[in-house]
Amino acid sequence: MAISAYATIQPSACSHCAVRSRSICGALDGEEICALNEIATRKTLHDGEFFVFEGDAAQAFANVVSGVVKLTQSLEDGREQIVGVLFPSDFFGRAFGSQNSVYPCTVQATGEVNLCIFPAARFDQLLVKFPNLERKMLEQTQKELDTARDWLTMLGRKTAPERVATFLYHFATRSAEAGCKAGHAFEMPFTRADIADFTGLTYETVSRQISILRKQGIIVAESPRHISFVDMERLAERAGRGLSAH
């Protein structure tokens, strides 16, 4: 079959990549994926490790292969906000003109993370060469924009209980989608402080709200980082309008 033939010519990681079908690489066929594979390098990040900082020159483009990555912004006095979360198959980076642009946010691993990295300039060339790749990138960027806008509504208009429920619901949905785990029991890569930075609350408030959900039997927390979602419907109810699962 075609794929294994290409794999012989170019014994690439791409052909057996776990996220191949869902990531932007899914837009490419065997021949094209080889071109992409040529410029790709892998990198592992450990928990809390930074990949780029806010204001850095945008020189790379990367796909998340495994793990969870957070995008954050900070104010001068140290206040911090999570402005994006990347699951396996999500990418980040700026297409075109990235030479003179900078990253608008800090990129940090939450737990162990595997990245597939492409140099920006060479990736741009491939975008021009493979229209499908560019199209897929546009689609993903639009989805991320939709997600960001749902978060705006959460931060601007939802109460603390609603925000925490929204976060948990969104996280459970995204994790399941990204194939992290089936069913309703999850290993959370996020600390209470992370959830606070996501929801615009303090970690004390997050902790209190999670305790309430536990007492109401909506979730069960074996340990702070292991949560079972017992009643997704009641959770969704408490979340009000959910975040569009992207």
Q: 160 CB contacts (<8 Å, ≥6 apart)?
A: 199, 201, 205, 209
Interface with DNA includes 133 (CB under 7 A)? Answer: no
Cα gap 220→226, rounded to integer Å: 8
- Which DSSP category does 57 fall into? B
Shortest CB 47 distance to DNA, Å? 9
Phi then psi dihedrals of residue 33, to 5 deg: -65, -30
CB of 137 to its own copies, least distance (A): 7
Per-residue mark of binding to its own copies, 89-118 (x: CB under 8 A): -----xxxx------xx-------------
Could you say which residues in the range 167-206 bind its own copies, by CB under 8 A? 197, 199-200
Q: For residues 6 and 198, which CB has a smaller minimum distance to its own copies in the complex? A: 198
Nearest to 186 by CA among 87, 48, 70: 87
Sequence-separated (6 or more) residues with CB below 8 Å from residue 152? none
* Interatomic CA distance for residues 133 and 33, integer angstroms: 10
Among 185, 221, 232, 245, binds DNA (CB under 7 A): 221
> How many residues appear in the chain?
246
Question: Exactly one of 200, 234, 240, 245 binds DNA (CB under 7 A); which one?
Answer: 200
Q: In terms of Cα–Cα distance, which of 183, 180, 152, 184 is closest to 166?
A: 152
Regarding 141 and contact with its own copies (CB under 8 A), the answer is yes
Of 164, 60, 70, 170, the residue nearest 111 (C-alpha): 70
Nearer to DNA, 55 or 224 (CB): 224
Question: What is the nearest approach in angstroms of its own copies to the Cβ of residue 204?
Answer: 16
By CB under 7 A, which span of 16-24, 89-97, 100-108, 198-206 interacts with DNA? 198-206
Spatial neighbors of 112 by CB under 8 A, at least 6 apart, are 44, 45, 46, 47, 66, 67
CB of 81 to its own copies, least distance (A): 4
- Count of residues touching DNA (by CB under 7 A): 21
| DSSP-derived 3-state class of residue 59 | coil
Binding-site residue total for its own copies (CB under 8 A)? 43
Provide the minimum distance between the beta carbon of 31 and DNA in the complex, in angstroms, as a whole number: 45
**C-alpha angle 91/169/72, rounded to 5°?**
40
The footprint of DNA (CB under 7 A) covers 159-161, 191-193, 200-208, 210-211, 221, 223-225
The footprint of its own copies (CB under 8 A) covers 71, 73, 75-76, 79-81, 83-84, 94-97, 104-105, 128, 131, 134-135, 137-139, 141-142, 144-146, 148-153, 155-158, 197, 199-200, 240-241, 244
